[in-house]
Structure 1
Amino acid sequence: MAEKRKLFEEVTIPEPQKPVAQTGVIDRGRGGARTAIRIWLFVLFALVFLMIAVGGMTRLTDSGLSITEWRPITGSVPPLSEADWQSEFDKYKQIDEFQLQNSWMQLSDFKVIYWWEWGHRQLGRVIGLVWAVGFLWFLLRRQIPVGWTPRLLLLGALGGAQGAIGWWMVASGVTSGEGMLDVKSYRLATHLGLAFVILGFITWYALMLGRPERDLIQARRAKETKPFKLSTGLMHFAFLQILLGALVAGIDAGRYFVDWPLMQGQVFPRDAFNIEPTWRNFFENPGLVQFMHRVSGYLLFVFGIVVWLRGRGSAHGKTRFAFNAVMAVLTLQVIWGIMTVLYAAPVHIALVHQALAVILWVLILRARFLSAYPIATGIRGT
């Protein structure tokens, strides 16, 4: 029999248990492959970087017109017999570059430039394959984080467009009777510009995937607006300078004026507007194109100093370091650019100049990212 309670006896009511907070919910489920996707992006980054370097070598060795046809599938197989090689050489003999500039070439000489262009195209196929295999792997295993499928698809779409633009560029130089010795410089600039756009997206995505989603959401609240806007401006300015550099490379303008700070003793080059119609001078006149590249470089350096002074005032140590790195490489790039001019753009110096442009581009993006998503620091800002 149950014991009777006393009239004023305290009755203890058990408190309901509070649910235990679960951390990391925002990154659960389909966010589990962030690290694997980031590694895949690093592989793509390395391949695109190599692609830019090989493309630069292809341009500097005048190899880009050695393959006169666009065969996305069958072109992956190089000539396998002497008859195949002779057939490719005969096709090359029909274009202006051979007839007006390289008529001295023998088959052995042709093979050298052919391999550079074939390697450049083959590397493009490898990049496409790595993207397709990686994307399908993560998609079929449902490991792509929510909201990331369109972003990763964009990389593939840009890569496909890059292949088409590459042929559009080459086709401008595969002519007969028109006197073309190279591809059109503005098409080369489009081709290189898109490569940097692709590299930029890969870099930004890798930076985002390097931190948990919840950290990015929290960091965004501490966004440093002024450095972010300035670094965005620097990013666009640097991209313009890259395009101008492509115009210089497209017409070998770096080998026409090999003095500095003047240009053949003049502040402004002679015959800067001697091509008709006038607008063509901005793409085809070596003096004017190199002058634009020089002046743009000076302005970029000055603006870079302004951005650096603002960025080094950040409250976050890693953000300050990022802007310091940008300023260091920007300074080195200016010095190297002057040296490239003084030595008439030899292959090895020109390739380093291009590689520094890639490094600077990535560092600007990193500084911009850390301005948008600063990493929390201690009291001393370290």
Structure 2
Amino acid sequence: MAVAASTEGVSLARVPQSRSLSAVRTWIYCLAALVVLMVAVGGATRLTGSGLSITEWKPVTGAIPPLTEQAWMAEFEKYRQISQYELVNKGMTLSEFKFIYAWEWGHRQLGRLIGLVFFLPLVWFWARGVIKGRLALTVLGIGALGGLQGAIGWIMVASGLEPGMTAVAPIKLALHLTVASIILACLVWVAAGLKDRSDAVRQEAPAGYAPRILVGLILFQIALGGLVAGSKAGLTYNTWPLMDGALVPPASALFVVRPWIENFVDNVILVQFNHRLVAYAIVAFAVWHAWTIHRQAKSSRTAGRATGMAGLALAQMALGIVTLLLAVPLWAGLAHQVFAMAVLAMAVVHARVSTI
């Protein structure tokens, strides 16, 4: 009787703890959703040419947009001093400026919102002792990475404000997108690890390192996608599967820039070709992974997730091809970027669950 009572007490004690961790998991998934929204708004900001409309970094006072006509004219005048206006948008009206300003302001405002959604619940959970130890350090690390991301964002914008520049530097845009993706991956990894899966362990099958390799490949592909976006490589060679009439462009075209290492960033032919190659590699690896798991344990949850990942990889490649063939219309460019975040999130869940 004493043993039974003790066991029951432990079981009851676990209920509030389980509910608390469930609340933490929901909070972290909400943060992940906001990060995906941030990536979407960032993509729209880039595709509408709005990213350089705000020429100053004011983390606090910048939260308030211009409220008077005089304030709007002052902001417009600052924009008219940069090269993008002189070389691309000369003659732009104030109403047109307000449109691009709204996209960039919304992007920065969403960043501030994410900061609040991160910090306020963190203080609450920490004060109640729900977040502590290793989990606390992990969450703080993600928060620090988020703060760094804000600085990277400004460094990226500043690169486009330099004389003669009409857009941000591709390598810095790729870094900004990659760090956002890493933050998303970390959030999903932590949230997926907080769910009690003890009852589902019997339905899992050994997956080895393949799920983690898949996550790494997807992150690498997202970085390459950032280079494609930053260099506008998607607006050239809008055919598939051939590039300029060949499956593999000649070396003379792939490495025309000197020194040769700069081709990987500045040569739109090589930038797009690398993005294509890694897409093929991801699809091939995902299909191989699903086939391998099905051979080992066809009815396992692991096999089901692996099959889902193969399907997502194929769908994302198809969407990328459509985006290329249509010369990157706004809807397709955004869909391709946001769906990449969904593929990454699902890959992370697959990798995390496979290690529990």
Structure 2 CA distance for partners of 1:316 and 1:157, relative to 1, 3 Å = farther
2:74 aligns to what? 87
1:359 aligns to what? 342
Select 2:224's aligned residue among 244, 250, 271: 244
Q: Secondary structure at the match of 2:269?
A: helix
Q: How does 1:70-219 map to 2 (within 5 A)?
A: 70-144=57-131, 146-176=133-163, 179-211=164-196, 215=198, 219=201
For 1:167 and 1:17, locate their aligned partners in 2 and report how far apart those are by CA, in whole Å.
63
2:249 aligns to what? 268
CA contact (8 A) 1:31 1:143 kept: no
TM-score by length of 2: 0.92
CA contact (8 A) 1:228 1:368 kept: no
1:317 aligns to what? 300
Q: Which moved more, 1:50-59 or 1:142-151?
A: 142-151
Write out per-residue CA displacement over residues 134-176 of structure 1, whole angstroms, 9 at most, x where no aligned residue: 1001111222255321122122111111101100111111112
CA contact (8 A) 1:30 1:146 kept: no
Select 1:330's aligned residue among 313, 319, 324: 313
CA contact (8 A) 2:203 2:301 kept: no
Q: Which moved more, 1:31-40 or 1:294-303?
A: 31-40
Supply the AA of the counterpart residue of 2:58.
R
* 2:350 is aligned with 1:370: no
CA contact (8 A) 1:31 1:144 kept: no
Unmatched segments (≥5 aa) in structure 1: 1-15, 374-382
For 2:142 and 2:18, locate their aligned partners in 1 and report how far apart those are by CA, in whole Å.
19
Supply the AA of the counterpart residue of 1:290.
Q
CA contact (8 A) 2:88 2:166 kept: yes
Supply the AA of the counterpart residue of 1:369.
R
For 1:131 and 1:71, locate their aligned partners in 2 and report how far apart those are by CA, in whole Å.
20
Supply the AA of the counterpart residue of 1:174.
L
TM-superposed deviation, 1:54: 0.2
2:268 aligns to what? 286
For 1:101 and 1:292, locate their aligned partners in 2 and report how far apart those are by CA, in whole Å.
29
TM-superposed deviation, 1:273: 2.9
CA contact (8 A) 1:52 1:195 kept: yes
Supply the AA of the counterpart residue of 1:268.
P
| Paired residue total | 351
Write out per-residue CA displacement over residues 249-277 of structure 1, whole angstroms, 9 at most, x where no aligned residue: 01111011111111122331673333333
Q: Which has the larger radius of gyration?
A: 1
* 2:325 is aligned with 1:342: yes
CA contact (8 A) 1:224 1:372 kept: no
Structure 2 CA distance for partners of 1:104 and 1:166, relative to 1, 3 Å = same
Supply the AA of the counterpart residue of 2:351.
R
Structure 2 CA distance for partners of 1:195 and 1:170, relative to 1, 3 Å = same
Q: Secondary structure at the match of 1:228?
A: coil
TM-superposed deviation, 1:129: 0.6
CA contact (8 A) 2:169 2:230 kept: yes
Structure 2 CA distance for partners of 1:26 and 1:275, relative to 1, 3 Å = farther
Write out per-residue CA displacement over residues 203-234 of structure 1, whole angstroms, 9 at most, x where no aligned residue: 1111112217xx39x94x99755x23011111
Identity %: 40
Supply the AA of the counterpart residue of 1:186.
I
Write out per-residue CA displacement over residues 262-297 of structure 1, whole angstroms, 9 at most, x where no aligned residue: 112233167333333332221121111001111111
Q: How does 1:23-42 map to 2 (within 5 A)?
A: 23-24=10-11, 27=14, 32-42=19-29
For 2:297 and 2:158, locate their aligned partners in 1 and report how far apart those are by CA, in whole Å.
49
Structure 2 CA distance for partners of 1:272 and 1:181, relative to 1, 3 Å = farther
CA contact (8 A) 1:30 1:144 kept: no
CA contact (8 A) 2:192 2:353 kept: no
Q: Which moved more, 1:129-138 or 1:294-303?
A: 294-303
TM-score by length of 1: 0.86
Q: Secondary structure at the match of 2:208?
A: helix
* 2:275 is aligned with 1:297: no
* 2:30 is aligned with 1:43: yes
- Cα RMSD (Å): 2.3
For 1:357 and 1:329, locate their aligned partners in 2 and report how far apart those are by CA, in whole Å.
9
Q: Secondary structure at the match of 1:147?
A: helix
TM-superposed deviation, 1:104: 2.8
TM-superposed deviation, 1:338: 1.0
For 1:103 and 1:204, locate their aligned partners in 2 and report how far apart those are by CA, in whole Å.
46
For 1:169 and 1:76, locate their aligned partners in 2 and report how far apart those are by CA, in whole Å.
19
For 2:2 and 2:75, locate their aligned partners in 1 and report how far apart those are by CA, in whole Å.
79
